[in-house]
């Protein structure tokens, strides 16, 4: 018994009795601009991400329907076919043009190259490498079922966030004063535009590479409502050279506020040396001509041809 709903894999727009103009809420004489505005409004209203989860399946069907209606009415040639023959003009089971017949010289065996814009719905929480299958949207040969289009999601890197599963990580850059004396401010802007405010109390010293966890501020799940977590990696921004007055008293005041230095190291002989700032650890080994400089090495077991222990 027909329940009146769309069949599996079909959308309401595929039903010959459905009026595409009515589906978008426009008159048959509507301009392309009016059709475009109506589609945007309907797509926003029925977008699966804009409704509660219990209505998401129904919303997906309606979203596909208004998208299909727009794809036909936005194309003047397709719109003329629809105005003349309705959805039957797009029914492949009725032969070329959807209206039956042998298709002239082709005898119903021709293939025609067409261009079609496809609306792709990517569920929230989708992961890198996941596949989205658009059934029946691939190439079609005469007397054969159309193939599928398989889209593989490639996640674009973000300048601020790194994603692992449903969790996100980002750098938290603070000044020396904030690391020692605390702070209360917005530390970063999230992917949805919200500012993330952190109130770090005085007396809780932040250290380089320390990690702060913010529960529930990661990526949303594909199912359910529990989001992942946000991990903030502390980076301390030290002042530039000469930021403090050269007056000796200023340095004495600063040293008096900070913890005392470590006990001096005692040695029988002491050399006072000069040093260079901003050295590159990657250059280590270059001065001696070490063949390992600039290369990657792995520990491997020696073959049997290596040195052997002498037997007594």
122, 108 in Cβ contact below 8 A? Answer: no
Domain encompassing residue 207: 161-237
Answer with the one of 237, 267, 300 that is the final residue of a domain: 237
Give the residue among 212, 209, 178, 184 at the shortest CA–CA distance from 198: 184
Does 126 share its domain with 166?
Answer: no
Cα–Cα distance between 273 and 258 in angstroms, integer? 26
Report how many domains make up the chain. Answer: 3
Per-residue pLDDT of the chain (312 residues), as tens digits, is 444 434 344 455 555 567 899 989 999 999 999 999 999 888 888 887 777 777 888 888 888 888 888 989 998 888 888 888 888 777 665 544 554 444 444 545 556 667 778 888 888 888 889 898 988 888 777 777 888 889 999 999 999 999 999 999 999 999 999 999 999 999 999 999 999 999 999 989 999 999 999 999 999 988 778 899 999 999 999 998 888 877 788 888 888 888 888 898 999 999 999 888 888 888 887 776 666 666 655 555 555 555 555 454
Helix (H, G, I), strand (E, B) or coil at 175: strand
Residue that finishes a domain, picked among 193, 213, 237: 237
Axis-axis angle for helices 56-73, 32-46 (nearest 10): 170
Phi, psi of 105 (to 5 degrees): -65, -25
Say if 134 falls within a structural domain.
yes
Residues β-bridged to residue 132: 151
Report the CATH number at residue 75.
1.10.287.110
pTM: 0.54
Q: Does one domain contain both 33 and 83? A: yes
């Amino acid at each position: 018994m027909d329940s009146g709903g769309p069949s599996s894999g079909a959308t309401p727009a595929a039903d010959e009795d459905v009026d595409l103009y009515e589906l978008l809420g426009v008159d048959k004489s509507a301009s392309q601009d009016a059709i475009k505005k109506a589609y945007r409004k309907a797509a926003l209203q029925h977008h699966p991400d804009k409704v509660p989860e219990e209505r998401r399946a129904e919303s997906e069907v309606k979203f596909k329907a208004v998208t299909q209606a727009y794809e036909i009415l936005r194309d003047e040639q397709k719109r003329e076919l629809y105005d003349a023959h309705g959805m039957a003009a797009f029914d492949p089971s009725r032969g070329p043009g959807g209206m039956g017949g042998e298709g002239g010289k082709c005898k119903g065996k021709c293939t025609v190259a067409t261009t079609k814009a496809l609306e792709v719905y990517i569920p929230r929480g989708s992961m890198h490498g996941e596949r989205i299958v658009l059934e029946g949207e691939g190439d079609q040969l005469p007397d054969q079922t159309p193939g599928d289009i398989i889209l593989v999601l490639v996640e674009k890197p973000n300048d601020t966030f790194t994603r692992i599963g449903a969790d996100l990580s980002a750098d938290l850059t603070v000044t020396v004063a904030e690391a020692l004396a605390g702070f209360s401010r917005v530390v970063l802007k999230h992917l949805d535009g919200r500012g993330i405010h952190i109130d770090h109390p005085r007396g809780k010293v932040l250290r380089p590479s320390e990690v702060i966890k913010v529960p529930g501020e990661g990526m949303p799940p594909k199912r359910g409502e529990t989001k992942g977590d946000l991990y903030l990696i502390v980076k301390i921004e030290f002042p530039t050279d000469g930021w403090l007055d050269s007056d000796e008293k200023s340095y004495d005041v600063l040293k008096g506020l900070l913890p005392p230095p470590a006990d001096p190291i005692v040695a029988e002989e002491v050399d006072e040396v000069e040093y260079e700032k901003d050295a590159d650890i990657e250059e280590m080994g270059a001065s001696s001509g070490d063949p390992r400089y600039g290369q990657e090495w792995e520990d491997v077991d020696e073959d049997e041809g290596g040195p052997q222990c002498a037997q007594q």
